[in-house]
Structure 1
């Protein structure tokens, strides 16, 4: 895979998106930044990262034959690729906090932001932003954040982690090309944080309620069993799972 290294940049996703507009990629491309000045997470949150201590990158992946209604499988494949990478690094107690935060025990060590590229109503590619906490040990006002160094007590070579991640990503995306959706979804659901456990949620109005995560739909919505034995389906903007 072609890797572009930059020193400081506002957002690797934005950089790669604009580069794709100029060149129209036909093969996977990765942009890796030593420092990201305006990295974004889900729902517009800011990704906090000390320069040179973490992996901040974006990857363009070409998409063939995936319907718009199946786009959540891009998130599933990416989440599993990150978990594959961390498994190889002997990181334990991995889980996926819906939709695609990667946790070790209860600490968030990786965030994913995906921007799909659609042309004439069809998915043709995805820009996948990945922020992985590697050698940083202090996080201001982020009590749930953690890093590989905090977990293991040792330093990691960030470029080695990147190369492993890119290999895992390409392998998982082969499953998309062969439409192995059931296998991907079962693996993803097996790793879901708080699955089958009573958990507290906030709705869009900020009201709390208790439910039990059952599964996700093919469109990526969360299926939650409520106290009245009814399974309700929620989109990302409609519900927040509390730790």
Structure 2
């Protein structure tokens, strides 16, 4: 495992993508940054972070040695790896907000950006992870929090990184062994608002009610609507209001 530590970079995902273009990158190569000037989240959002207080890194995972037919299983596996690592720190009330935000007590503490590299088949993936660890102020971000805000503890970033990598390898092994149902079942068991009455907003801005019951192997959210109708939604089609 190779760990590259940088003081400042625009984006660790972008740094790894450039590496892939210029050299052979080993499995579990990790790029860690104290500060990202252009950190990216889901759907083109920015990830802002105080320098040196949070854990921001990207992980290169070589998938050429085994086939992952449905890329969303990678998202489920990495979400579970982070969840398990945080549980060892006794972070309370942890859930996965679909597709892969990690919440504690309904506050976002971690975001994940996965960029797959496809060459005829899914060849490799770059997993960008940002965890709010020791930052305590989040201006104009009422839904954000950090491990320190939640527990009052100041954390060692390297220890958290090692724990996440350990659990990532464990869940990666499950996928390599073809134990997809085990990963999907555990992911669904930890879904935020699962089987609870919830309010959603569609792309037209209309609100509607339903129950999250699970996800498909393609990563679509399954919502039970009125009249016992189950509808599947893509990421850009629905927003969970909470």
Scaled by the length of structure 1, what TM-score is found?
0.97
8 Å CA contact 1:66, 1:176 repeated in 2: no
Q: Distance in 1 between matches of 2:108 and 2:239?
A: 15
1:210 counterpart = 2:229 = no
Q: Distance in 2 between matches of 1:99 and 1:73?
A: 11
Query: What root-mean-square deviation, in Å, do the aligned CA atoms of Structure 1 and Structure 2 show?
Result: 0.9
How many Å apart are 1:67 and its aligned residue? 4.0
Residue in 1 aligned with 2:76? Answer: 76
How many Å apart are 1:168 and its aligned residue? 1.2
Residue in 2 aligned with 1:176? Answer: 175
1:149 counterpart = 2:133 = no
Residue in 2 aligned with 1:65? Answer: 66
Name whichever of 59-68 and 228-237 sits farther off.
Answer: 59-68
Residue in 2 aligned with 1:161? Answer: 160
How many Å apart are 1:26 and its aligned residue? 3.7
8 Å CA contact 2:107, 2:144 repeated in 1: yes
How many Å apart are 1:15 and its aligned residue? 0.4
What is the aligned residue count?
Answer: 241
Q: Distance in 2 between matches of 1:52 and 1:151?
A: 19
How many Å apart are 1:23 and its aligned residue? 1.1
Q: Distance in 2 between matches of 1:13 and 1:5?
A: 13
Paired residue secondary structure (1:192): coil
Residue in 2 aligned with 1:54? Answer: 54
Residue in 2 aligned with 1:193? Answer: 192
How many Å apart are 1:48 and its aligned residue? 1.5
Residue in 2 aligned with 1:125? Answer: 124
How many Å apart are 1:20 and its aligned residue? 1.2
Q: Distance in 2 between matches of 1:240 and 1:62?
A: 32
8 Å CA contact 2:68, 2:175 repeated in 1: no
Q: Distance in 2 between matches of 1:22 and 1:47?
A: 26
Unaligned runs of 5+ in 2: none
How many Å apart are 1:159 and its aligned residue? 1.1
Scaled by the length of structure 2, what TM-score is found?
0.97
Residue in 1 aligned with 2:94? Answer: 94
Residue in 2 aligned with 1:224? Answer: 223
Q: Distance in 2 between matches of 1:132 and 1:148?
A: 9
8 Å CA contact 2:11, 2:39 repeated in 1: yes
Q: Distance in 1 between matches of 2:170 and 2:17?
A: 23
Pair 1:67–1:163, CA change in 2 (3 A): closer
Unaligned runs of 5+ in 1: none
How many Å apart are 1:65 and its aligned residue? 2.8
Structure 1 residue ranges (4+ consecutive) displaced by more than 3 angstroms after TM superposition: none
